[in-house]
Structure 1
């Protein structure tokens, strides 16, 4: 694994409050190598400085005996303003009486040391007090700031800025759940530590950064350090030992900070929201926040609120895209695809409502609806002795955490051996399969054991494709559309496709190539033994009536 030097964040800041310039100079000399020092010659000045930027300080060294406002007066103001919860104070004084010391502790001081100053004691106590106070601000995995500390630090930076322009970035590691399963919890933590350091030492040169949660990282950078070409390269990386390297992608939401009155939490939310609008993370793994994204977020909430009403009103329709047998040119099966025709908004794209329903926790209800509608169609065809073909329905990874739904599917497969239920197939993407974990993939195998065919969708798009063929039994592989699009463009892709087709056949697995649109693509797939093709070259997704008419015509 690549070794990364630990990069130091900007120096922590100390406020020294003492009316003696000599004392301030002595303390500054002891601490300035490790900390950034700000000085105040009296209590009133100290309060003024803290009002402007208290979030920027890690500690206050406070003299007791001063003109205008003494140290006890400063502590009283800090108590009233509730600042002592976020800013520790060490009293520095020549006075060593128990009365003075006891009163200082009662008013919220964290420590007390007297003059003359011993450099080793001063440095140690300052370090220890900051470390003790910041335990609630430290992320236990990376050793850096957590969300709470990041908000505090960024607030301080923005408060003090003069001409600098700042940007907030929100990173996440794609498919981290699956990676965590592969590496184990300890290995996943090491990846998070490694990625944290990777951001720190990058050309982005963060002013402050933190792991916000899970595999999510936020960092504040100066606008001048953002190069989008560099950011694209940065988000695509390899991790691990030379003999076992893993290719990993990350994505990034970008928010240009303009409104200083906005809360830091809102800024983080905007950068995170921007990340959700990345359309092709492999070509452009970042998106810049725009105000209309906030409007879309509200739209997603509306989608979830209107979903159940849409189901009740039969606004959701099943479209079918035929899958063609390469040898005969006839329809061999089909994939069921959902379409939403809202009574007032019209057609709503699946690319809009499916992610919204996944976020809102409604996707399993939609998948159950799709299974039910397909079974109804197949049952009607059987009753009327009309032509029919197997139909595949997509399952979300979230379905595997809804045991009621999966038990419902299994029960349907077991009861009576209905032919229409045996003709239902289930598709799951390899990314979803990796994400659901071993406990939940057992349910997938139960579906197969009860007569359902299992299709692995988007084969070749993830990092663990071939390992999945070793661990699980599949009936059909659906080759990812990115391979098909490169036929006639990339010779290496064509060689990989030949190898995939040959390997699958040796394993007794059939193949569907998705996304074929040209004669050249179809000819290549036919010549190299691909079993089935699904794509616009033959058919686009179509309403049920149109699909059934094709079956009647013997297409």
Structure 2
């Protein structure tokens, strides 16, 4: 390098000498008339030509040497090479301090696969493409160098952690745009940090930290994502594109790992209440336009690090809350959501629009991105229940999620170990005052002395889809109980079995599995009553009627549970094919008023005229029992008579009544 600089100096000196000699000749020619002699003029002309030639050659040599000097610090892609980087870092280290100096290190994730599959020539194109994208995020304070085969370094002076994060965000956006139409998608790992007061590093330490963060980012992406999912995934073309879970996880990990301990963040997820109704009524074109408008608005939320449409009508974002509390963030989001709602109602023909949001403040660096997303989604679904429709994840939600995980993860082992047991609650004949039937219920023996009632696990099993497995388990236990009593010559009574609404999604499978149980245990079908809720009937009208026909052909009975819960109308009563009607227990909540008695009596009158047996549950007082008996109820069920009991206890009760 020093030799090249000396050559540049010599070339410059030569040019100066030639120009001085040329100027001297021209001045002499103008001042002395003897130079008009022909021979002398030829000689003078030759000197001038020689001077011009020497000057031109010196310029060529100077330009060539400058290129040598310039390319000595750059590689074939036009970025600085490792040697130039080392000199840059050495020069910076010699300064009085390295405050506000940032280092960003980048590494391509899937270069080896490109090289192995398509050859090194294609790999070089891959590297050059990434280098060209890097050059587009540089500022006047940037120094870009290629550190190794597919590793790059940006030295950024007069910067901050937020500025480096913004540079990486711009790079990711460029990469995303490129990947949309690329044959080979680009994916990269990044690590960066900044030296500043109270967070001061020498250059070697800063390089080491950035390098460690980069390789942690690379390791995480390699472990958690396959090569096919290491780039952005879109579910639809611009402007309605949505990011995949893999992309979102990668994005979160990169930011959180590079800002660990230096910034506080909250992950936010929002959706539109009943958005499907907008699509169904106003059309998908209007729905997509609304989604695009919302995305543009959420992208400009103050202190937002990024915002994306996740999938369907769900939007996600990361907010820097270093300088604010979570409650302040909630208030800002409530205000911002109100602006979004007002804008949509003004710009589009919809008459109702509600935006709801869940917030998860990331206080623990050990929480993995997938859990962050899950936590925020959990409270998003609860946001409609609170004022402002913005819900913050808290300890009580953590307990709820822990319980949910416990139920889902331990359910199958509970089935295998028979920890879930059937209980029975007797139903008393209003006229006979004896046990005439019983409802089969469930309890979960979670631990010694700990018994879970259905409200602890049934809703979660319904949510997970495992409720159908539980139903078949209960049916088999109940059928086995009937068979054991029958084979032993012991008395039996009809039993009621609940049918979960999830079965109506696959009515053929339900019929097949119940048929297999009939074949295995051969119960008397007249002892079986299958209970279907009124809500399930209204929402699955055809499937329920098919099930009723199937069980009627088999000789079993069907009961409508929770009748009068508010879903049906009087018009549906004329078509009800149920054998038994089980009144919703809310009819009996609190003291019976005069009007309440009149309503119950009139309902009983209509049901009796349409030849339906009537059962009332929730009977807890003698007054209610006496009224129902006089009003014409057939059977009563409730704590006034019996609480639910284990099947063994119910067997003993029946035996004692012989």
Category of TM-score, reference length = shorter chain: 0.5 to 0.7
For the residues of structure 1 that align with 2:585 and 2:265, how far apart are their CA atoms?
41
Determine the structure 2 residue equivalent to 1:546: 649
| In the alignment, structure 1 residue 406 sits paired with structure 2 residue 492 | no
Mapped partners of 2:392, 2:614: distance in 1:
35
Shift of 1:468: 6.2
2: CA distance, partners of 1:452 / 1:299? 36
Larger fraction in strand? 1
Residue ranges of structure 2 left out of the alignment (5+ in a row):
1-100, 106-132, 155-166, 178-183, 187-230, 320-325, 339-351
TM-superposed CA distance for 1:554, in Å, is 5.1
Residues 386 and 170 (structure 1 numbering): CA distance in 2 closer, same or farther, change over 3 Å? farther
Measure, in 1, the Cα distance between the counterparts of 2:403 and 2:620.
32
Summarize deviations over 1:207-230 as a string: whole Å, max 9, x none: 788775578776779633648xx9
1:297-446 equivalences in 2 (<5 Å): 297-311=404-418, 315-341=419-445, 347-355=451-459, 357-358=461-462, 362-383=466-487, 386-400=490-504, 401=506, 403-410=508-515, 420-433=524-537, 438=542, 442-446=546-550
SS of 1:425's equivalent in the other structure is strand
* Contact 2:424/2:441 (<8 A) preserved: yes
Alignment-derived partner of residue 268 in structure 1: 373
Partner of 1:539, secondary structure, is coil
Question: Cα–Cα, structure 1 residues 455 and 79, in superposed 2: closer, same or farther, change >3 Å?
Answer: farther
Residues 36-91 of structure 1: CA deviation (Å, up to 9, x unaligned) = xxxxxxxxxxx96999xxxxxxx999599968548999xx9899999788313899
Residue 377 of structure 1 and its aligned partner are, at CA, apart by 2.9
2:518 paired with 1:518: no
Higher helix fraction: Structure 1 or Structure 2? 2
Post-superposition CA distance 1:107-140 (Å, at most 9, x none): 99xxxxxxxxxxxxxxxxxxxxxxxxx9966779
Of stretches 503-512 and 247-256 in structure 1, the one that deviates more from structure 2 is 247-256
Q: CA deviation at 1:334?
A: 1.0
- Give the stretch that moved more between structures: 283-292 or 293-302: 283-292
Of 258-267 and 63-72, the range deviating more from structure 2: 63-72
Give the whole-Å Cα distance in 1 for the aligned partners of 2:534 and 2:465.
Answer: 21
Residue pair 1:172, 1:251 contacting (<8 A) in 2 also = yes
The structure with higher relative contact order (CA 8 Å, sep 6+) is 1
Superposition TM-score, scaled by structure 2 size: 0.49
Separation in 2 of the partners of 1:492 and 1:77?
81
Note if contact 1:487-1:493 (Cα within 8 Å) is conserved in structure 2: no
In structure 2, relative to structure 1, the CA distance for the partners of 1:551 and 1:168 (3 Å cut) is same
What is the Cα deviation at residue 336 of structure 1? 0.6
The offset of 1:481, in angstroms, is 3.1
> Partner of 1:88 in structure 2?
174
Q: Spell out, residue by residue over 1:150-184, the C-alpha distance to the aligned partner (whole angstroms, 9 max, x if none).
A: 779989999999999857467797xx8xx98xx89
What secondary structure, in the 3-state scheme, does the structure 1 residue paired with 2:373 have? Answer: helix
Cα-to-partner distance string for 1:450-491 (whole Å, 9 max, x where unaligned): 2221122233446456676566522223333334325548x8
Stretch deviating more after TM superposition (377-386 or 445-454): 377-386
| Corresponding position of 2:561 | 457
Distance 1:518 1:224, change over 3 A: farther
- DSSP-derived class of the 1:317 partner: strand
Quote how far apart the aligned CAs of 1:271 are. Answer: 3.5
Q: Is the 8 A contact 1:192 1:215 kept in 2?
A: no
Match of 1:223 in 2: 327
Q: Is the 8 A contact 1:364 1:402 kept in 2?
A: no
Distance in 1 separating the partners of 2:309 and 2:576: 34
CA contact (8 A) 1:319 1:544 kept: yes
Report how many residues are paired: 437
**Unaligned segments of structure 1, at least 5 residues:** 1-46, 52-58, 92-105, 109-133, 235-246
Cα contact 1:300–1:353 (8 A) shared by 2: yes
Task: Please list the CA deviations of residues 367-392 of structure 1 after superposition, one character each: whole Å capped at 9, or x if unmatched.
Answer: 22322332233344445554432101
CA distance 1:385–1:397, change in 2 (3 Å): same
CA apart distance, 1:316: 3.6
CA distance change for structure 1 residues 366 and 151 in 2, over 3 Å: closer, same or farther?
A: closer
Q: 1:543 to 1:359 in 2, by over 3 A?
A: same
1:296 maps onto 2:403 in alignment: yes
Check the 8 A contact 1:167/1:255 in 2, yes or no: yes
| Deviation of 1:194 (Å) | 12
3-state secondary structure, aligned to 2:371: helix
Contact 2:442 2:453 in 1 (8 A): no
Measured in 1, the distance between the counterparts of 2:617 and 2:289 equals 37
Measured in 1, the distance between the counterparts of 2:447 and 2:316 equals 41
Structure 2 Cα separation of the partners of residues 249 and 437 of structure 1: 30
Decide which moves more: 81-90 or 478-487. 81-90
Larger Rg: 2
Distance 1:429 1:498 in 2: 21
Report the alpha carbon displacement of residue 541 of structure 1 after superposing the two structures with TM. 0.4
Counterparts in 2 of 1:423 and 1:214: CA distance versus 1, 3 Å? farther
* Correspondence 1:116-265 to 2 at 5 A: 166=266, 168=268, 186=280, 223-224=327-328, 226=330, 255-259=360-364, 262-265=367-370
Alignment partner of 1:513: what SS? strand
In structure 2, the residue corresponding to 1:456 is in which secondary structure? strand
Q: Distance in 2 between matches of 1:507 and 1:472?
A: 9
Answer yes or no: is the 8 Å Cα contact 1:60–1:90 preserved in 2.
Answer: no
RMSD, matched Cα: 6.3
Q: Which moved more, 1:161-170 or 1:316-325?
A: 161-170
Residue range with higher mean Cα deviation, 508-517 or 497-506: 497-506
Give the direction of change, closer, same or farther, for the CA distance of 1:269–1:451 in structure 2 (3 Å limit): same
Contact 2:135 2:144 in 1 (8 A): no
| Cross-structure match for 2:588 | 484
1:275 deviation in Å? 7.7
| Displacement of 1:349 | 3.9
Q: Which moved more, 1:517-526 or 1:446-455?
A: 517-526
